[in-house]
Amino acid sequence: MAVMEETTKFPKLTMQSKTKQQPHKISFYLEKGKAPNVMQALSKCLKNYVKIIYSNDIALDILPQAAGKGRALAFLLEKLKVDRQGPLNTLVCGDSGNDVELFTVPEVNWVSNEQEELLQWYAGNARGNPQIIHATERCATSIMKAIGNFFLGPNASPRGIRDSMFNRKILCPSHEVVMFYIFCERWGCDDVEKPE
């Protein structure tokens, strides 16, 4: 099916720049108010051959049905399980509609916030699910909240913490996320010596 040919029938779609196009993804701009009708019509004419993903109140991506973040995560988790290297816990985080598919993968804890399309999906599909957190905090703070909520490791607030407070060797990903966040915050406040 010639997806590009079909999309030319929708003048409300504006092609994004060439740098945004990929071999298995076509990207457009589409005004928020026009999105529901255009997406419904596109779905009808393209049938089940593609996934149509709308995010950030303006971006519309068309991908092959077998593509997507959720499929990639499910494949990776299954591959690790087969190789007996599966993780004990998996945490995914997202802030827009292009992350929704991640949250449908079984046995994954997740945290979301921010964009309206993700909040709508959460309200309709995930409310009351104990593996799902709707974070009210932003960025790494919401990730740290999820780490604590799901008992994945230490989730101390980075505000005012200095490396010397962590005098024992901790080797876990959640600790590294917190330490990286501390470093970035200190860097931004000019509290770290910067190379010339």
For the CA atoms of 153, 154, 155, 159, what is the dihedral angle to 10 degrees? -160
- CATH 3.90.1070.10 range(s) for the chain read 3-64
Neighbours of 151 (CB within 10 A): 10
Residue 182 in tokens: 């501390």
The CA-CA-CA angle for residues 143, 149, 153, to 5°, reads 75
Q: What are 96-155's pLDDT values in tens digits?
A: 788 888 888 887 776 666 677 777 777 787 777 878 777 777 777 778 888 888 888 777
CB 110 within 8 A of CB 90: no
What is the model's pTM? Answer: 0.63
Q: What are 3-33's pLDDT values in tens digits?
A: 888 899 999 999 999 999 988 899 999 999 9
Fold of 3-64: Hypothetical Protein Ta0175; Chain: A, domain 2 (3.90.1070)
Residue matched to tokens 């931004």: 188
- Nearest CA to 73 out of 86, 59, 55 is that of 86
